[in-house]
Amino acid sequence: MTSLRETPGWVALPPLVDAHVHLDKTLFGSRWIPHRGSGTVADRVRVEEQTLAGHPDSVSVRGARLLERLSSRGVTALRSHVDITDVTGLRHLEEVLALREQWTDRLSMDVVAFPQRGILRQDTVAGLLRDAMAAGADTVGGLDPTDFDGDLPGHLDVVFGLAAETGSRVDIHLHEPGATGDVALAAIADRTTELGLAGRVVVSHAFCLADLAPSALAASADRLASAGVGIHTSLPQLGVIPPVPTLLAAGVNVAVVSDNIRDSWSPYGRGDPLERACLAGYLFGWNTDDGLERALSLVTSAPSRSLGLQSSDPGGGPADSGRDPDPFLDYVLVRADSIGEAIVDQPGARIVVRAGRVVAGQEYADTLQQAPVTGSRP
Ligand SMILES: [Zn+2]
């Protein structure tokens, strides 16, 4: 018997992981709402609150639409940041935690308690973050400690204090440019080392790395690598994209993520990690098959390490789950001849196998007339 994994004309990829999604913000699948441009982070937060306040669909409905897309494209693990503010309280979190429960057979979800309006400038958020972790959030979030909260050490005291108290991972949005951002990166690396959190701390965006002179960049990359701090990039607009090849060469765990998918922050995004891998390969000139496989690793093994789903090295220890993904039980079949073609063409025909069971794309599996339709070892 030939296993599904060996089907001619289909290529098996490792499980796809999207380590930065905002399920509570997305308008994916809803009526198109024209994007209202960009401003400061604070301006965007205000536009978003107005948009969502007038939207007919709940977090549960909008989030489920995006989960359906992500799952059908091969995502079996994701990290979703959920707003915790004086305005939202824990309302968004409660809906996303319910989605996590409803989708548990198809994917695992790491939920970040994310202070979208800062921590110290809000009245209730420091306490709400603690409540969020007690309610079931997995990871402590942070946001622009200097530019938004005006107090780098004070902000990190709350974030890392809570991580130490709860044994959680950390994921900090850092949009801060130049030296401001680099000072924050250094402080984050120091806290990570002091608390023994190597492999458990991620900085999302890290736009500042695009501003640094080569010597400062090299120093910053080495510091991140030795502290075990990962970088998650959504490959944003020109000028703020972190120099991914340099970071990889220094040994930093870099993942490519979606971040905003059709919401008040961005009209773009298809909920497909292969689209992100393709964009990475295109931007960085990775044109050989080896290069395309490197691009694939940024949406598979790298985010898998960040989320504790795969052994982390150096220094991060074993997977939280106790096992690495098994290539015979956890994979995504894509109708393509090769990994390169799968990345470049991004066909929608996919069969998603998780723990040996088809969890999405059953209609394609049925047409292959394999019996039994499982991901069993050959
Ligand atoms: Zn984000």
Residue 298: exposed, middle, or buried by beta-carbon count in 10 A (0-12, 13-18, 19+)? buried
Convert the pLDDT of each residue in 125-179 to its tens digit.
999 999 999 999 999 999 999 999 999 999 999 999 999 999 999 999 999 999 9
Q: Give the pLDDT score at 314.
A: 46
Compute the distance between CA of residue 108 and CA of residue 126 in angstroms, rounded to an integer.
Answer: 27
Task: Output the CA 233–ligand 1 centroid distance in Å.
Answer: 10
Instruction: Tell me the pLDDT of the chain averaged across its residues.
Output: 93
Mean of pLDDT values over 263-274: 94
Task: Output the CA 9–ligand 1 centroid distance in Å.
Answer: 36
Q: Give the pLDDT score at 310.
A: 86
pLDDT band at 246 (very low <50, low <70, confident <90, very high): very high
> What is the bridge-based pairing of β-strands 16-21 and 254-256?
unpaired
Compute the distance between CA of residue 277 and CA of residue 289 in angstroms, rounded to an integer.
Answer: 13
Task: Output the CA 369–ligand 1 centroid distance in Å.
Answer: 41
Convert the pLDDT of each residue in 29-59 to its tens digit.
888 888 887 778 788 888 888 888 889 999 9
Task: Output the CA 370–ligand 1 centroid distance in Å.
Answer: 41
Q: For domain 16-306, is the CATH number 3.40.50.700? A: no
Mean of pLDDT values over 278-284: 98
| pLDDT > 50? residue 22 | yes
Compute the distance between CA of residue 301 and CA of residue 15 in angstroms, rounded to an integer.
Answer: 8
Compute the distance between CA of residue 7 and CA of residue 142 in angstroms, rounded to an integer.
Answer: 44
Convert the pLDDT of each residue in 325-377 to its tens digit.
888 899 999 999 999 999 999 999 999 999 999 999 999 999 986 555 455 54
Task: Output the CA 260–ligand 1 centroid distance in Å.
Answer: 6
What six digits make up the tokens of 88?
Answer: 């939202």
Task: Output the CA 8–ligand 1 centroid distance in Å.
Answer: 38
Q: Give the pLDDT score at 319.
A: 77
Task: Output the CA 243–ligand 1 centroid distance in Å.
Answer: 19
Task: Output the CA 296–ligand 1 centroid distance in Å.
Answer: 21
Phi, psi angles (nearest 5°) of residue 148 = -100, -45
Compute the distance between CA of residue 277 and CA of residue 166 in angstroms, rounded to an integer.
Answer: 33
| pLDDT > 50? residue 8 | yes
- Sheet order of strands, 16-21 included: 16-21, 75-83, 108-114, 139-143, 169-174, 201-205, 229-233, 254-256
Task: Output the CA 204–ligand 1 centroid distance in Å.
Answer: 7
Convert the pLDDT of each residue in 290-329 to its tens digit.
999 999 999 999 999 999 998 766 445 567 776 788 888 9
Compute the distance between CA of residue 312 and CA of residue 72 in angstroms, rounded to an integer.
Answer: 27
Cα 351–Cα 354–Cα 356 angle in degrees, nearest 5 = 95
Element (H, E) at 183: helix 178-194
| pLDDT > 80? residue 79 | yes
Task: Output the CA 106–ligand 1 centroid distance in Å.
Answer: 23
Q: Give the pLDDT score at 374.
A: 52
Task: Output the CA 81–ligand 1 centroid distance in Å.
Answer: 7
Task: Output the CA 338–ligand 1 centroid distance in Å.
Answer: 32
Q: Give the pLDDT score at 2.
A: 59
Task: Output the CA 225–ligand 1 centroid distance in Å.
Answer: 22
Task: Output the CA 259–ligand 1 centroid distance in Å.
Answer: 5
Name the pTM for this structure: 0.94
Task: Output the CA 22–ligand 1 centroid distance in Å.
Answer: 6
Best CA proximity match to 24, nearest among 111, 107, 108, 106: 111
Q: How far is CA 193 from the centre of its chain?
A: 23
Q: Percent of the chain, pLDDT > 90? A: 83
Write down the number of H helices and E strands in the chain.
Answer: 13, 12
Amino acid identity of residue 346, one-letter, is Q
Q: Give the pLDDT score at 318.
A: 66
Q: Where are the beta strands (DSSP E) in the chain?
A: 11-13, 16-21, 75-83, 108-114, 139-143, 169-174, 201-205, 229-233, 254-256, 331-334, 350-354, 357-360
Amino acid identity of residue 245, one-letter, is P
* Residue 335: strand, helix, or coil: coil
What six digits make up the tokens of 352?
Answer: 């998603």
What six digits make up the tokens of 174?
Answer: 């850092």
Using alpha carbons only, how large is the chain's radius of gyration in Å? Answer: 20
Task: Output the CA 376–ligand 1 centroid distance in Å.
Answer: 37
Higher pLDDT, 327 or 18: 18
Task: Output the CA 85–ligand 1 centroid distance in Å.
Answer: 15
